[in-house]
Structure 1
Amino acid sequence: ALAGDTRTPTPADLFSSGRGVWSGGGSRLVRCGGCGHRHMSGSIDEPLVAIRRSSLNEWHTLVVGLQGALVTGFIYAYSTYSNALQNQLHLSESDKELIGLAPSITNLFTTMCGLTLDRTSVRFCLMLSTVLMSGSYIVYGLVGLKIITVSGTVPLCFALSAMGSLGASFVVACVFSTLAKNFEAAQRSAVVSIAKAWVGVAAGVGTSIYIGLFPDDGGSERLRFLFFVAVICGVVPLAIRSIAQLRSDGLIRFSGSQMASRFTHQPYPPPSSAHSSTYPLAQRHPPTYRSG
């Protein structure tokens, strides 16, 4: 679309899937003789360039991040239905405690969630978390109510609890990495702390409401709590996946000369005393951009 165009590029020209913000003049797009692609020539006069990959405000991601954090808190609600599960399946005390250890053991392997997020996208990981959490809790409830009968109930319940915990870990990776990358240092710690507090809201307030509706600790009604969790874990990640997107490396600031060198295939300028303390990240680790 830019072939033969030598006008000053607009933000939409350079970043077709996001927003760019800068001011400056004397730059145009020219064809590179080496690769045949079009790049920026000239210079950018503005000392700072701020690139945002999404038209959404970062506070939008906080709102949906709080909803995602609510979902993750249900992995701590095992005590809500553990006695009912023990009565229905005639489990021993050790079997009940073993099933309760599944989320803690799964947490040892949750680094794969972050690695998967780095290689895919927020949308993909939220979809995967929906399948894992909603599917596992539905089967978990069917087994607990004896609608599905199996011989090895303890290993199956352990595996289903572990799957639900792994799905919640994908939501954790999406929510907290998105907030950390979209907010600047002055706001980052407060925003992440608020989202972390909302994890406890689901485990505390959400389960308390359900217990108030079904006070019988050992009755089968408590096991229907698993279907309640399955619905929430299936709806919320799908509802927020269109908004909760990473903006590549978030809000990245670097100098105009580095911006020009990026589009002319020139290497980054060597660190100097004037820039090394101000832009260490941009000089040592040039950012890469990909769509959410």
Structure 2
Amino acid sequence: MTKHLLALFWQRYRQRFWALLAISLVMGLILALLNVTTWNLSATDTLFGNQIHRWEPYLGSANATFSLYSYWLVFVFWLGGLFLMLLDRTENFNQFLFASGYRRSVIYWTKLGMSLVGLVAVAVITTLEQYLIYWLHVPHGVTLNLAWPGVLTSWALGLAMSLGMFALSWFAALIVGQTGPLMVTIGGFTISLIGVVNIIQGLLHHWTSAQRDWLAVGLWLAASLILWVWGAGLFGRLSLEHNGEYLLFPKLRLPLYLVFVVYMTALFTINGTDLVAGAWTFVLTSLFGYGWLWRPHWLEDWRQRHA
């Protein structure tokens, strides 16, 4: 039964995976060639610095920029999670799946597993392409000082971040029922994570970079598992009658509102040095969150008049 479901998903998603692979290969090629142009190697140099022997992500040496796991792939996972979940709703494929006789839990985990396998395959193929470009541009006589610790750690951090971004966009596309607001919501939240990362790095300045990197791996993986399991529970209760609404699960409105207000207020006042700015942030986010989530009638009437 699961084999038939896998065949059904592959028939539907294969064009999307091929498109993601094509885009990823083009961007991977461009980024690899840009890295190569920064190399300043002579016959007595090594392609990798001594950092490659440490259990921490490799950042490149002074004379050669080398990406063992491209951050472009993080965006590929983010994009894949968004559209693999979103398009099944907008194209009414969920209705077909719910009427097919398969249990929703089987549908959800089969789809999630296929999505992850497909995206990991895209990441591996793109990375092999980049490694091939690097290898072809190594000057004659340059030593390849490659070591597994740097490779594995770079992949562990990069893949954990990719899975986390995939889980965020996957979960957002599951609970938000309007395409435009979904893009604004997940886009804004993703950008805000840059500020969160800077805050965490500031708080953990006494930690070594390797310790912070392994903490990041653990946090990304934990967040991914939580969102996937939570998403499985919500998918089992997904009601098609709320299609077209901002939230497909109305009971999430109050929790999301509270999290949004607390999150944004804390993000702008984490240092605790400007209480006035914190108060204004709290007021503005409270008003904006109310208008965004509850959509009062007077605001909805204004939107319709100006549509």
Same fold (TM over 0.5): no
Larger radius of gyration: 1
How does the TM-score come out when normalised to structure 1?
0.29
How does the TM-score come out when normalised to structure 2?
0.28
Q: Which has the higher strand share?
A: 1
